[in-house]
Chain A
């Protein structure tokens, strides 16, 4: 049984309401932070904790906080990124839906650390019912003196506003989110300047993921150094993983990043094994945009070591034989799943969600989808596979925002690891319409060359 920091109280009856949350020890971190600590010492604790951004990139949160500009007389803002739209990721939804006060508590502490008097939660439009939950929580916190003017008599004012998006994946990119928050078309901005210097309304802005901000609560309660002891190496603390796909127990799990991928998939405490007694074929370990891995590379690294559920181990081997922790959207595919079809549906998603601002992503995502569609429906050519590779190569790294990379990586990884399945589709177009390639050799142990 691993350590639980965020979801420990998630199943307490009535935890969604203020009274129960407070009775269970909620809002202690606000009292501690506002009364006993200075904004800088809070940032210092977060730095010490080694907390990494939970939205996908994994950038150290405390370091990001220290980048915020502090010009005289200009207000600063904290924006909570709740535009969780990555296919396979639904951890923030769970957190906001069941323990909304944890996020509000984290927001108050973080607002104090960053001196943000107006803090925003930018939530995706499809989470309409969660907006009501959050607003209820905000009102309750305000009625109890934890929000509004002069919080707990410390002289610190803070308001939290919930802003609904209109259904665009791209608005999860921090500068597109800022544009959208300002009421404009959600196009990512060209960086620099970074939001920490010029964000919302040209003011210094900090954009953090829901889970990151919620994690500030245990960090303040237990201290940064204690928090850093959980986990392993640079992967400190706990991480929410939203597991889905062909597993027996899909859902949101809190892990302390010391368990192996194999344990996570097969133990009854977590995913409970592959559904219907099938075999594991592949897995996308961190949300749709991270590279897909075949079963053999998922459970063991290319060096033959056990792969663990943490930032370093999942990315061991780089993109050649590794993947990424990403946002923690753990998608499991069993032997009956077709990688070509899976890649096609991801490509369709990224084509639909590209903002259309810069040319490689606007044109390239649509092109990749059309080629994948041809391959999937038996009209592909062998040369199409190399063409796909070339297109993704020309999108990756050449776009304004990471959506281009996110669209390119799944295609690249699918071709890298499952090229023979693509070739089988092209060479057996009729057969490919009726049956799948199956597990093939994707779970076979990998030969590890012996090094001296």
Chain B
């Protein structure tokens, strides 16, 4: 094989060169910002994931240099690889905006919207997605679907009503454990994540399904209703763990460890899978070597920040004058001169 071939791809008028075989979504992630389509089911660490939620649909306005025909339908950017000279429209395409708003509406159709009592609130991808791409109201006037409660063990809480059927947890169990004991049962709008006969999920790494779940369908029972995520301070920490890398994020309040999760990158994806012992059983601050505050980027209200500078928001340094070539803001209308409000009425 010769050196890796580079393909030129243009996404929303920004051109980038990526290795052959890269998906459109990953190319867009290299550009970053608003150009990146949202992804609810795709997970770069899970083989075979993606293509299901349809939020990452994009328009291909030019197939490639060799075959410039546009693709007839919108395509799932997470599962389509780039071609040389491909031109992709994401937020510059009205069709995409329209279709994506439709997908968001579909995803929220049967979602209970119980964010106020949901542990995922604040780090929920569906919340982010609906803020970014959804409409303010729903046109759905029917009862939302519910499911029979299904207990899957002492560590993991399953809320099937919140599930968007991204299949990530199924792939996680498939690829991390030797024996997958849960999956998708039934078909269509009544399909559900469950074990066929009620049983607990039992595997050293099964806790990772909580981290991959984009919504509050799978949450940590040891953290249930204990705190809101945005009140906690995320800290990078590690320990010598015989089963996993031991590299985690601790979610503290004061010195108390409320929960342990894997470290997630800026796309909300786990960096290193962690074991159940680290996640559920190791909640003393003394068990961990704390490295420092966790950088929470882009994702969710947690970035509102509790430490100036290192986590979350940076105070913007540029002032209006700085970005306006030194000119002070031009006053369009001086309210004092046109309004009688401040005049002394006795005059």
Which A residues form the contact surface with B (CB < 8 A)? 168, 170, 185, 190, 351-360, 362-367, 370, 387, 393-394, 397-400
**Which residues on the A side are within 8 Å of B73 (C-beta)?**
397-398
Does B189 lie within 8 Å of A398, measured CB to CB? no
Chain B's closest residue to A190 (CB) is: B51
Does A357 lie within 8 Å of B52, measured CB to CB? yes
In chain B, positions 60-79 with a C-beta closer than 8 Å to chain A are 73-74, 76, 79
In the assembled complex, B102 has its CB within 8 A of some CB on chain A: yes
**Which residues on the B side are within 8 Å of A362 (C-beta)?**
106, 165, 188-189, 191
Does B165 lie within 8 Å of A357, measured CB to CB? yes
User: A360: which of B106, B167, B186, B191 is its contact (CB, 8 Å)?
Assistant: B106
Does A397 lie within 8 Å of B74, measured CB to CB? yes
In the assembled complex, B158 has its CB within 8 A of some CB on chain A: no
A155 CA to B183 CA in the complex, in Å? 45
Chain A's closest residue to B191 (CB) is: A356
Q: Mark B161-199, 1 if CB is under 8 A from A, else 0.
A: 000110100000000000000011011111100000000
**Which residues on the B side are within 8 Å of A170 (C-beta)?**
187
Does A399 lie within 8 Å of B184, measured CB to CB? no
Chain B's closest residue to A381 (CB) is: B141
Does B187 lie within 8 Å of A356, measured CB to CB? yes
The 10 tightest CB contacts between A and B, nearest first, are A394-B102, A356-B191, A190-B51, A363-B106, A354-B188, A366-B189, A363-B109, A356-B188, A397-B73, A359-B106
A393 CA to B106 CA in the complex, in Å? 13
A121 CA to B320 CA in the complex, in Å? 71
Chain B's closest residue to A169 (CB) is: B187
A387 CA to B138 CA in the complex, in Å? 11
**Which residues on the A side are within 8 Å of B51 (C-beta)?**
190, 358, 400
**Which residues on the B side are within 8 Å of A387 (C-beta)?**
139
In the assembled complex, B99 has its CB within 8 A of some CB on chain A: yes
**Which residues on the A side are within 8 Å of B165 (C-beta)?**
356-357, 359, 362
Min CB gap A233→B, angstroms: 23
Min CB gap B81→A, angstroms: 9
Does A360 lie within 8 Å of B139, measured CB to CB? no
Does A168 lie within 8 Å of B187, measured CB to CB? yes
In the assembled complex, B142 has its CB within 8 A of some CB on chain A: yes
Kindly name the residue among A185, A366, A393, A398 whose own CB sees the greatest number of chain B CB atoms within 10 A.
A398
A254 CA to B167 CA in the complex, in Å? 45
Interface size class of B (residues with CB under 8 A): 20 to 34
**Which residues on the A side are within 8 Å of B103 (C-beta)?**
359-360, 394, 398
Knowing that A354-B187, A394-B102, A394-B105 are A-B contacts, what are 4 other residue pairs whose CB atoms are under 8 Å apart, sorted by A's residue number? A352-B188, A356-B190, A359-B165, A393-B102
Q: A353-B188, A400-B51 are in contact. Are A190 and B102 (CB under 8 A)?
A: no
A359 CA to B104 CA in the complex, in Å? 9
Does B188 lie within 8 Å of A398, measured CB to CB? no
Does A351 lie within 8 Å of B188, measured CB to CB? yes
A362 CA to B167 CA in the complex, in Å? 14
A170 CA to B79 CA in the complex, in Å? 21
Does A355 lie within 8 Å of B188, measured CB to CB? yes
**Which residues on the B side are within 8 Å of A399 (C-beta)?**
54
Does A398 lie within 8 Å of B54, measured CB to CB? yes
Does A370 lie within 8 Å of B142, measured CB to CB? yes
Does B188 lie within 8 Å of A366, measured CB to CB? yes
In the assembled complex, B57 has its CB within 8 A of some CB on chain A: yes
Q: Mark B16-56, 1 if CB is under 8 A from A, else 0.
A: 00000000000000000000000000000000001111100
A391 CA to B142 CA in the complex, in Å? 15
Min CB gap B178→A, angstroms: 18
**Which residues on the A side are within 8 Å of B142 (C-beta)?**
367, 370
Does A359 lie within 8 Å of B189, measured CB to CB? no
**Which residues on the B side are within 8 Å of A357 (C-beta)?**
52, 165, 167
A170 CA to B167 CA in the complex, in Å? 18
Does B186 lie within 8 Å of A356, measured CB to CB? yes
In the assembled complex, B210 has its CB within 8 A of some CB on chain A: no
User: B106: which of A351, A364, A400 is its contact (CB, 8 Å)?
Assistant: A364
**Which residues on the A side are within 8 Å of B131 (C-beta)?**
none
A185 CA to B183 CA in the complex, in Å? 10
Min CB gap B184→A, angstroms: 7
A358 CA to B74 CA in the complex, in Å? 14
Does A351 lie within 8 Å of B189, measured CB to CB? yes
Min CB gap B230→A, angstroms: 28
In the assembled complex, B270 has its CB within 8 A of some CB on chain A: no
The contact sample of 8 A-B pairs, CB cut-off 8 A, is A185-B184, A190-B79, A352-B188, A364-B106, A365-B188, A394-B105, A398-B57, A398-B103
In the assembled complex, B307 has its CB within 8 A of some CB on chain A: no
A362 CA to B164 CA in the complex, in Å? 10
In the assembled complex, B140 has its CB within 8 A of some CB on chain A: yes
**Which residues on the B side are within 8 Å of A353 (C-beta)?**
187-188
A129 CA to B329 CA in the complex, in Å? 83
**Which residues on the A side are within 8 Å of B107 (C-beta)?**
359, 363
Does A360 lie within 8 Å of B102, measured CB to CB? yes
Does A398 lie within 8 Å of B184, measured CB to CB? no
Does B109 lie within 8 Å of A360, measured CB to CB? no
A367 CA to B102 CA in the complex, in Å? 13
A399 CA to B103 CA in the complex, in Å? 10
A185 CA to B188 CA in the complex, in Å? 12
**Which residues on the A side are within 8 Å of B186 (C-beta)?**
356
**Which residues on the B side are within 8 Å of A190 (C-beta)?**
50-51, 76, 79
A362 CA to B109 CA in the complex, in Å? 10
Does B189 lie within 8 Å of A356, measured CB to CB? yes
Q: Mark B257-288, 1 if CB is under 8 A from A, else 0.
A: 00000000000000000000000000000000
A192 CA to B324 CA in the complex, in Å? 49
**Which residues on the B side are within 8 Å of A356 (C-beta)?**
165, 184, 186-191
Does A358 lie within 8 Å of B187, measured CB to CB? no
A366 CA to B167 CA in the complex, in Å? 20
A227 CA to B47 CA in the complex, in Å? 47
Min CB gap A401→B, angstroms: 11
